[in-house]
Amino acid sequence: MPSDPEPAPPPAPVPTGVKRRKRKPLDWSTAGIGIMVVAAATTVYLRDGSERFFDIFYHDLRLFLDVLLKVAAGCLIGAFLARLLPREMVGKWIGAESGVLGLFIATILGAILPGGPITIYPVASALLFVGADIGATVAFITSWTLLGYTRALVWEIPFFGIDYVMWRTILSLPLPVLAGVLARVIAPIVTKRWGEAP
Amino acid sequence: MTVYIVEALLWILVAGLGLAAAVKGRILFREGAREGITDFLRLLPKVLLGVVGSGYVAAVMPADITAQYLGPDSGFLGVGIAILAGAFTPGGPVVGFSIGAAAIKSGAGAPQVMAYVTAWALFAVQRFFLWELPIMPARLVWIRALASLPLPFLVAGAAMFLGKP
């Protein structure tokens, strides 16, 4: 799932996930969440009183402390793996001639490659650029989004519990390949209607 | 208990990857560690906001309305509403999860919440413009969006069919 770190949009696309861009200290997504939280907290304070307000605060602070170490681990895994994965081989595995096998390989790649959109989207663009086909690229992004384990471990389990996350993951297993097949069907139609560019 | 297993698993993975990086070169290891720690520190305020804030969002979510529109009996109409809501929830690491968890607490059904989280993960509208279009070719972004449209329905349908979780 997009779940993962989702900082401010980077100023320019960079084909590999190794070099990081500077991020803006504040982005609109964070600002939006901030406004929502402040409004909700104010409502709770005015409607339910300060006792309930602090009850929720301490409970969520505990949840935050529980999540901290996992987030740190997720960030380190992403940083190391981005440096260790042999990116040039990727194009070979999931190129235009890769067929259904390419979709499966792309799905596995997406599931094991950790990191946020800041690493995944540039990698996806790079894959397309070096010759991966559109179906495999879509399967890759979908798999990272729905099956990425760091996201599930770090973010989803603390909120939903293991049972729910396990079932959601199992039910999502076939979806990246399906999205890849759909993308291969849609791509020629889109190209015919709107052309190859942009 | 399982929480500690997950934690241990993550750090074993960190140790393994760190070791692999260190074997390949000292600089590689140092760069990786530095980037990982910097990312973590940058994320901290966002995580604090998302996690600590989610309780308040859950508290103000009207339980009766949630249960009525997204409850286990809301069927595919509930799934449709959930998917629309997911598409228009802002991105960010925890917003969708925290709202989904809050919805479950206030009586939403599991398939509906799965549809919500999946839709939010796959096509939060705001993410297209802030993230995907600046980085990826527009053709890829829109083809992926179209190909993703049926997926939340399928997840919810499968969850309803199996009666799980």
**Residues of A numbered 47-106 whose beta carbons fall under 8 angstroms of chain B's beta carbons: which are they?**
48, 52, 56-57, 59-61, 63-64, 66-84
| Nearest residue, CB atoms, B131 vs list A64, A117, A154 | A117
Its pTM stands at 0.74
Q: What percent of chain B has pLDDT over 90?
A: 38
Q: What percent of chain A has pLDDT over 90?
A: 32
**Residue A110, min C-alpha distance to chain B (Å):** 14
For B9-24, the pLDDT digits (tens) are 878 988 998 999 999 9
- Would you place residue A29 in the very low, low, confident or very high pLDDT band (cuts 50, 70, 90)? low
**Residues of A numbered 25-44 whose beta carbons fall under 8 angstroms of chain B's beta carbons: which are they?**
27-30, 32-34, 36-37, 40-41, 43-44
Residues of chain A neighbouring B135 (CB-CB closer than 8 A): 9-10, 13, 117, 121-122, 125
Residue B144 touches partner A, C-beta closer than 8 Å:
yes
Chain B residue with CA closest to A168: the answer is B114
Give me the residue spans of the domains in chain B. Answer: 2-57, 61-162
DSSP characters over B86-155: HHTS--SSSHHHHHHHHHHHTT--HHHHHHHHHHHHHH-HHHIIIIIHHHS-HHHHHHHHHHHTTHHHHH
Residue B48 touches partner A, C-beta closer than 8 Å:
yes
| Nearest residue, CB atoms, B39 vs list A2, A60, A75 | A75
Contacts of A130 (CB under 8 A, 6+ apart): A88, A90, A91
**Residue B67, min C-alpha distance to chain A (Å):** 18
For B47-89, the pLDDT digits (tens) are 787 777 777 877 787 777 777 888 888 889 999 999 999 998 8
- Cβ pair B60:A30 closer than 8 A: no
Mean pLDDT in chain A?
Answer: 78
Predicted pLDDT at A91: 64
Predicted pLDDT at B1: 59
Least confident of A24-38, A53-67, A140-154, B130-144: A24-38
Helix (H, G, I), strand (E, B) or coil at A132: strand
Predicted pLDDT at A18: 40
Q: Provide the CB-side half-sphere exposure for A89 (13 A, CA).
A: 5
Residue A14 pLDDT exceeds 60 = no
Which candidate, B144, B137, B58, B62, places its Cα nearest to that of A41? Answer: B58
- Would you place residue A30 in the very low, low, confident or very high pLDDT band (cuts 50, 70, 90)? confident
Residue B136 touches partner A, C-beta closer than 8 Å:
yes
Residues of chain B neighbouring A81 (CB-CB closer than 8 A): 17
Question: What ipTM is given for this predicted complex?
Answer: 0.75
Residue A90 pLDDT exceeds 80 = no
Predicted pLDDT at A196: 62
